[in-house]
Structure 1
Amino acid sequence: MPHGRRSGRTGRSVAGRLTAWAGNRVGGTRYLAPITLLAAVVSLDGADKGTLAVNARSLEHAFGIGHTSLGLLASVTSLSGAVCTLPVGVLTDRVVRVRLLGGSILLWAVATGLSAAAPSFVWLVVTRAALGAVTATTGPTIASLVGDFFPVSRRAQLYAYVLMGEFVGTGVGLVVTTALTSVASWRVSIAWPAAPALLLAWYVWHTREPQRGGRHVTDEEADGRTGEPSSATDGHATPDEAGRAALERGIAPRRDAVLREDPRRMPVPRAFLYVLRIPTVLIMITASSLGYFFFAGVRTFGVLFATQQYDVSRSVATALAMVVGVGGIAGLYLGGHAADRLTRAGHPNGRVIVPVVSLLVSPLALAPAILATSPLVAAPLLLLGAVTVTATNPPLDAARLDVVPSGLWGTSESARTAVRTLGELSAPLLFGYTSAALFSSHGLRWTFLIFLAPLTAAGLLGVLALRTYPRDVATAAASDAVARSPGRT
């Protein structure tokens, strides 16, 4: 018994030290639970995409399909997600978000099991469409919860930890699926994510819903607010770092765009129209969609490309994908920290500069990696390319929250997700068609090179946001100040 008690105390001590260490890394232990929760939700989609990538060849053999049909399978998921994400965004702004998210995860698990049981390619397409429909909840709901769980000053950094869940999920999906394919059929290797999804659905459903309107949440309040949000003596919300940087430079809000009504009671068409009239939102939606277009194609054909271009086995190709995943996680961390540091230093465009530079630099690393024939040469280049590309995501995601009134975060994210998923819809089809129809040899290599162009275009487009972002931040802050004032009109 004494030995058992010592072992228990040692285990608790180790767990306590690990918790303290992790808390220090993310800026406080109070952030660990929401980060873990949201990252786990994001990881499910990553795990699913990892299973599809590993099973690409098995699915082609099982149903007698080619690259184009495989691209269709991936695109159907994106199409159904694009259709469903718009109403989900509206619901996110008007219902209990943790219930919406938990119920969707449960349906996701069911759809995953049904897709693994597919007796035909048509069945598989239908179940993948259902999977995309329930996945649509993730984008708008998580964006809204991030805005209310985390303070503005650390939002890009903490958003980065949430987004790491997709890379961790994809990596786990690749490893587990690769291991399962060696001992079981492709059906088992597709079905396995349903099991952890059921557990996660229960946990999300029982999570406490955070108070809405977190634009001005402070570090002290983020541990579970029970009182009123921080406010100035006149009843208006205290400006956040991005808002203060704009005010210090004399950047005034667009008075005609200041929202003077409860956004959650706005008619749905007018809510979407308001969001799409924000210049920075339009720029970021387009730039983000171009970046995701490239990665949707790479995610579908990446393992297949590696086996052909570098003449390696599927397990070695999966290892290369893990290298890319490590680079992706590093990029998220660096991008989030750099953007928040610039913002806290008073730079009004801190969350725009980082993604613009990253997008313009990334093709310089990825192009030689695609042309290389040795995995040893390609690996460090792929690592660097992944760092530069993923460094764009946390600042862009945080910046979209900065320029939209908090009551419309779900609506805004659903508009962005719909356009992004349309890009993801077209990417696998275009990658598959281009590689098969336009090139007689090394089709995927030349296809990957051609579709580096959207990354450069996204970076050039982001330059425009350097002019629009500060004023849109000031406008959103003014809208939230009106919403919090006692005499709101």
Structure 2
Amino acid sequence: MDSPHTDAHAAARMGWWRRRLRRNVERPLEELAGGPARLKVIALLACVLALDAADKATVGAVAAQIEAGLHVGNLQIGWLVTASTAVAALMTLPFGALVDRVPRVRLLAVALAVWSMTMLVSGAAASYPMLLLSRLALGVIAAVASPAVTSLTGDFFRPGERGRIFGYVLAGELVGVALGFLVCGNVAAWLSWRASFWVLAAFGIALALVLWRSLPEPARGGQSRIPVGARRVPSGDERGRDGTDAPAGSGALRQVIRWRGVRPRHALMSMNPASTSLWHAVRYVLAVPTYRTLVAASALGYFYFTGLRTFAIVYLRGRFDLGQTAASSLAVLLGLGAIVGVLLAGRLGDRLIDRGRLTGRVLVAATAYLTAAAAFLPALWLGSLWLAGPFFFLAAAGLGGANPAVDAARLDVMPSALWGRAEGVRATFRFTLEAVAPPLFGYVSARFAGDIGTAGASAVAARGRLAAHAGAAGLGDTFLAMLAPLALAGVLLLVRSRRTYARDVASALAAERRTRRG
């Protein structure tokens, strides 16, 4: 029986660890985010994206166990990822319309609860058809998360800092990929692939409860923005109490527009975005030239990222003669480059706007895409891991760094009443290309390798080192060929958006004022 002295010693030691955690982790993160309330919102939104990314990464991490347990091959594994992504592509537009109409936090919490229940079913699947059907239902979280997280970020934070904030939130996606590779992959090795899905289900249920109980719904139009240093997240009925009742387009963007005397596009002013139908909202969104360019560039960037994420470990193993554990760890380390990119690029775009460079975010995104394409060239050509590694890191930073700048720019050119539906349009194109990327990359790599059988991981194991090198060579050639659409994304932003961005920002500001008066 423990003595009172032992209990007191344990309590004192626990208190010491809490103080160290508070001093070394919590306080620095709060200072980075701008206060406890802002850190809370950023962390919760990042966790939503992390959970979806972890699920997709987990399928790849436990593919061998699923193949052995359900007696399927690589093609069937690929369909597990494509199925949920295809459903997300179909459902994201109607869910985007719902995001503009109903409380978003409640919608996210319900979607997470449904997703968690479906993950439990996935883990208990007794056959491949049952597992595939459950994966179809998992597309709901991606369909809800993308428009809801974008809309909430726009309402909680000022336009001038959205690039930096999106960088923090989007880092959750990359952390989720690492979680899927490392944590869920190890759970599958220790227990079973079913346990990996159940672990994610437990995370999903916990996150749904936290969202439902602790995150209030903000007022639309940026009237519940969280001031720096706030300790509590303001709710929708507290609008204006903290001096945050300015229109959504206030701040640096509005000042630059006024200084330059930019006029809006009157052709876009004939509709009230808050009350229009879904069909007219889609037409409005696609009528904004800058938004069309941002949608195309973002979809092309995610297309390359999805193909790279799917086959990166297979490529690294065959190209550099690495084992599974070493290749997985290396992929996670290179993923740190993407995290560095999202954290730095978003902040840089905000800083350029503060200095009067209205197209700063577009320039940062374009430069990031072009930098990634340029860095991948030597990375894929060099045969030494020590020489190729720094170029892979730089390429990952560029590929990830474009996203927060693009996401912040998309809110700049769209009135807040359309944020959910506009993100639904963008996500439809993104998820469509994401669904196409894995089979297309796999098919092209097989043609380059000269043997379809050398493209899959199980074929590599069966045919030995020669087949591994042939498969890696085919993948390397595929990654090089697919750099063309990645470079095109940067060129589109650099050439087209720079000419249209200012007028589309002015149009969004004008539409925002009209919505408030209407």
TM interval, short-chain normalised:
over 0.9
Q: Is the 8 A contact 1:41 1:138 kept in 2?
A: yes
Aligned residue-pair number: 484
Q: Choose the corresponding residue for 2:55, options 48, 58, 62.
A: 48
**1:404-460 alpha-carbon deviations (Å, 9 max, x no partner):** 110110000011001100000110110121122442233222222211211101011
**1:203-236 alpha-carbon deviations (Å, 9 max, x no partner):** 1122211111118947469852613389999x97
**1:363-390 alpha-carbon deviations (Å, 9 max, x no partner):** 2212222334443333322211111111
Q: Is the 8 A contact 1:215 1:406 kept in 2?
A: no
- Sequence identity (%): 37
- CA shift for structure 1 position 92: 0.3
Q: Which residue of 1 aligns with 2:515?
A: 483
CA distance in 1, matches of 2:239, 2:144: 29
Question: Does 1:247 pair with 2:278?
Answer: no
CA distance in 2, matches of 1:198, 1:145: 21
Q: Which residue of 2 aligns with 1:461?
A: 492
Q: Which residue of 2 aligns with 1:297?
A: 307
Q: Which residue of 1 aligns with 2:219?
A: 211
Paired amino acid for 1:444: L
Task: After TM superposition, list the pairs within 5 Å mapping 1:299-338 onto structure 2.
Answer: 299-338=309-348
CA distance in 2, matches of 1:84, 1:369: 37
- CA shift for structure 1 position 185: 2.6
CA distance in 1, matches of 2:342, 2:184: 25
Q: Which residue of 1 aligns with 2:138?
A: 131
- Structure 1 residues 347-356 or 207-216, which shifts more? 207-216
Q: With CA pairs under 8 Å and 6+ residues apart, which has the higher RCO, 1 or 2?
A: 1
- CA shift for structure 1 position 259: 5.7
Q: Is the 8 A contact 2:111 2:140 kept in 1?
A: no
Q: Which residue of 2 aligns with 1:14?
A: 20
Secondary structure of 2:59 counterpart: helix
CA distance in 1, matches of 2:193, 2:22: 40
Structure 1: which 5+ residue stretches go unaligned?
A: none
Q: Is the 8 A contact 1:236 1:482 kept in 2?
A: no
Distance 1:385-1:79 versus aligned 2 partners, 3 A rule: same
CA distance in 2, matches of 1:215, 1:444: 49
Q: Which residue of 2 aligns with 1:161?
A: 168
Question: Does 1:114 pair with 2:148?
Answer: no
Report the TM-score, using the length of structure 2 for normalisation: 0.87
Q: Is the 8 A contact 2:413 2:507 kept in 1?
A: yes
Q: Which residue of 2 aligns with 1:347?
A: 357
Q: Which residue of 2 aligns with 1:227?
A: 239
Q: Is the 8 A contact 1:116 1:187 kept in 2?
A: yes
Q: Which residue of 2 aligns with 1:449?
A: 480
Superposed CA RMSD in Å reads 2.5
Q: Is the 8 A contact 1:104 1:135 kept in 2?
A: no
Q: Which residue of 1 aligns with 2:404?
A: 394
Paired amino acid for 1:350: G
Question: Does 1:185 pair with 2:200?
Answer: no
Secondary structure of 2:190 counterpart: coil
Secondary structure of 2:321 counterpart: coil
Q: Is the 8 A contact 1:323 1:379 kept in 2?
A: no
Secondary structure of 2:125 counterpart: coil
Question: Does 1:73 pair with 2:80?
Answer: yes
Secondary structure of 1:136 counterpart: helix
Paired amino acid for 1:113: L
- CA shift for structure 1 position 42: 0.8
Paired amino acid for 1:279: P
- Structure 1 residues 219-228 or 54-63, which shifts more? 219-228
